[in-house]
């Protein structure tokens, strides 16, 4: 692992699924790789989600996403943290890749089909949704990243990135690495508060990392219980309630196992377990909230960090794009083609 690239969309409040599934991992990778760890707030990708995109809130959400990541432990003085639109080479390389990517490869993407189906015939299905994985490939390859932290739902997109790299290399010479997926076995697939689907801003089943404590408690209080446990005296199955799933993320293993055993023999009620969950969750979240509050009082620090991150990122991206322009044969400024010079 020499260089990693990962990104997060600023389409709404950063939630505990983002924190447990990605941000904690980013912090660990940043400690190992320093400035070779590239983390990006992908604001251009946010435009492909009509349900979440809001032009009046996009800048605010982008800034907030950076602030929350820093509050959660990502150190912009160690890693390269930046905003996608601050590095225009992303979209330039994306267009080059668009010309090399078969339409069939894109229409077969599972995420495109799922999202298009959710939008339905009444909503605009923009071409950007179809081209999303091509821009994602450019995000990765413009830095020649060899490793990409992803969830299992992104593996198909990453394989397309590898195919695009192979196709470019075959046509124009060795240029891009074929990045490998980094699937952290300790990064959970966090379920939503409905206990069914994965936690997702688009599904509205999230617990915000900075959510008001009263609101957070109400969500925990209403988490679904084991549906087969009707009375307090009934034994319960901890595997049938998301309460214990969340508890395993925040509480010591010994406590979780002890409560599970009590739950199985009807020795503890779900409300008590939810109160314990809330207490342990807040032990993790309160320090993040305190750091976020301090950063809100010093917004210049966050903006300066993003601008410095973009400067570092663009140094690498510009070098890659100059190589790409040369290899695909674009007319370079100040360079007269050989045939024209001989006329």
3-state secondary structure of 269: coil
Backbone angles phi, psi at 41, to 5 degrees: -85, 110
If DSSP codes are grouped into helix, strand and coil, which group holds residue 182? Answer: strand
Q: Are 11 and 152 a contacting pair, CB within 8 Å? A: no
Contact 221, 276 (CB under 8 A): no
The size of the chain, in residues, is 343
> Strands, DSSP E only, in 172-283?
180-182
198 catalytic per annotation: yes
Of 115, 144, 260, 274, which residue is the catalytic one?
115
144 is catalytic: no
Q: Is there a contact between 138 and 91 (Cβ–Cβ < 8 Å)?
A: yes
Annotated active-site residue 78? The verdict is no
Catalytic hit among 24, 144, 201, 274: 201
Run of H or E including 4: strand 4-8
Using CA atoms of 317, 104, 41, 91 in order, give the dihedral in degrees to the nearest 10. Answer: 40
Backbone angles phi, psi at 70, to 5 degrees: -65, -45
- Catalytic residue (choose from 24, 78, 113, 198): 198
Quick check: 58 and 287 in contact, CB under 8 A? no
Strand, coil or helix: what is 198?
strand
Positions marked active-site: 115, 198, 201
């Amino acid at each position: 692992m020499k260089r990693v690239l990962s990104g997060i969309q600023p389409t709404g409040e950063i939630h505990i699924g983002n924190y447990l599934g990605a941000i904690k991992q980013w912090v660990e990778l940043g400690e190992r790789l320093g400035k070779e760890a590239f983390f990006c707030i992908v604001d251009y990708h946010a435009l492909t989600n009509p349900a979440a995109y809001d032009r009046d809130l996009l800048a605010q959400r982008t800034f907030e996403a950076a602030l929350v990541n820093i509050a959660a432990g990502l150190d912009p003085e160690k890693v390269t943290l930046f905003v996608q639109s601050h590095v225009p080479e992303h979209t330039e390389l994306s267009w080059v890749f668009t010309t090399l990517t078969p339409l069939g490869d894109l229409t077969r993407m599972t995420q495109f089909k799922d999202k298009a189906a959710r939008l339905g015939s009444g909503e605009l299905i923009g071409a950007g949704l179809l081209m999303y994985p091509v821009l994602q490939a450019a995000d990765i390859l413009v830095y020649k990243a060899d490793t990409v932290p992803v969830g299992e739902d992104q593996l198909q997109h990453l394989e397309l990135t590898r195919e695009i790299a192979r196709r470019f290399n075959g046509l124009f010479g060795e240029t891009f690495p074929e990045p490998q997926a980094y699937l952290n076995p300790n990064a959970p697939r966090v379920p939503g508060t409905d206990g069914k689907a994965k936690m997702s801003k688009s599904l509205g089943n999230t617990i915000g990392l900075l959510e008001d404590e009263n609101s957070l408690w109400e969500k925990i209080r209403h988490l679904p219980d084991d549906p087969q446990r009707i009375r307090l005296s009934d034994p319960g199955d901890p595997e049938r309630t998301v309460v214990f799933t969340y508890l395993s993320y925040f509480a010591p293993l010994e406590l979780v196992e002890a409560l599970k055993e009590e739950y199985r023999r009807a020795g503890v009620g779900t409300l008590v377990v939810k109160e314990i969950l809330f207490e342990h969750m807040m032990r993790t979240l309160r320090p993040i909230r305190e750091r976020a509050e301090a950063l809100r009082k010093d917004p210049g620090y966050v903006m300066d960090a993003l601008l410095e991150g973009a400067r570092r990122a663009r140094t690498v991206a510009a070098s890659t794009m100059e190589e790409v322009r040369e290899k695909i044969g674009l007319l370079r400024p100040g360079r007269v083609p050989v045939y024209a010079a001989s006329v």
